[in-house]
Amino acid sequence: MGNKLKMGVLALGVLSMTAGCSSMSERTKCVIAGATAGGLVGGGITTGIGLSKENQSGNLEWMVPTGVAAGALVGGVIGYFACPPAEAAPPPPPPPPPPPPPPPPPPPPQKIVLRGVHFDFDKSVIRDVDKPVLDEASDTLKANPNVKIYVNGYCDSIGTVPYNLKLSQRRSESVAGYLENKGIPSGQLIPQGFGKTHFVADNKTSAGRAENRRVELLPADQQ
């Protein structure tokens, strides 16, 4: 009865070890399970052998532990090789590539500045002194072929409204014709006359009236 009690205590101890192995690897668990089973089998076999022979019951004190140890060793080895090895964890995925940098902002639109020209009193003929100004304007327009240009003609305050309206139109068409002769397409130019309006200087002086007799070149998208 004492030997059976010892065997029970031994079995409970081995089982308690197994129950506390939840955090172990699968192979370690297999080894412990095999050792537990082997120890129980080995202890049972040696106990049976010791009790089946006469005058050897006193040897159970060393036979049972030896059988348990041998059985546990054999069972652990069997459990080690019987359990499949743990699969290696897959490597972590590579980090995502950094987002591409935002595109640079578009350049601001270029502001086109064109100088106007002036006319003698009651004339629509371009003066020689103003031709270099229009030559410079033609070079600028060739570099910006998609920009439409208003060619706006104006007069001073002398004369009737209908007459000055026609005169301002002739002045704008004279400038447009000069630019066309320099290679600017007619579709890029919009001549229009405004007569005796939009004064930029005082009409009471000759200098002021000369300033008002003019043609201005104004890009359509900068109105």
CA 106 to chain centroid, in Å, comes to 17
Q: Is the pLDDT of residue 128 over 60?
A: yes
Both structure tokens of 106: 């578009």
Inform me whether the pLDDT recorded for 81 exceeds 70. Answer: no
Tell me, what amino acid is at 5?
L
What whole-number percentage of the chain has pLDDT above 70?
A: 59
DSSP string, 143-203: H-TT--EEEEE---SSS-HHHHHHHHHHHHHHHHHHHHHTT--GGGEEEEE--S-S--S-T
Residue 66 confidence (pLDDT) = 66
> Which pLDDT does position 2 carry in this prediction?
43
Q: Alpha-carbon distance 6 to 40, whole Å? A: 12
Residues in contact with 196: Cβ distance below 8 Å, sequence separation at least 6, in sequence order: 154, 155, 156, 157, 159, 161, 164, 165, 168
What pTM, to 2 d.p., does this model score? 0.53
Coil/strand/helix, residue 211: helix
Backbone angles phi, psi at 190, to 5 degrees: -125, 90
Q: What is the pLDDT of residues 176-219, one digit of tens each?
A: 999 999 999 999 999 999 999 999 999 999 999 999 999 999 99
Provide the pLDDT confidence category of residue 68 given band limits of 50, 70 and 90: low
Q: Is pLDDT at 52 greater than 90 in this prediction?
A: no
Contact 177/139 with Cβ under 8 angstroms? no
What is the pLDDT confidence band of residue 119, given thresholds at 50, 70 and 90?
Answer: very high
Would residue 195 be called left, alpha or beta, if left means φ above 0 and alpha means ψ between -120 and 50 degrees? left
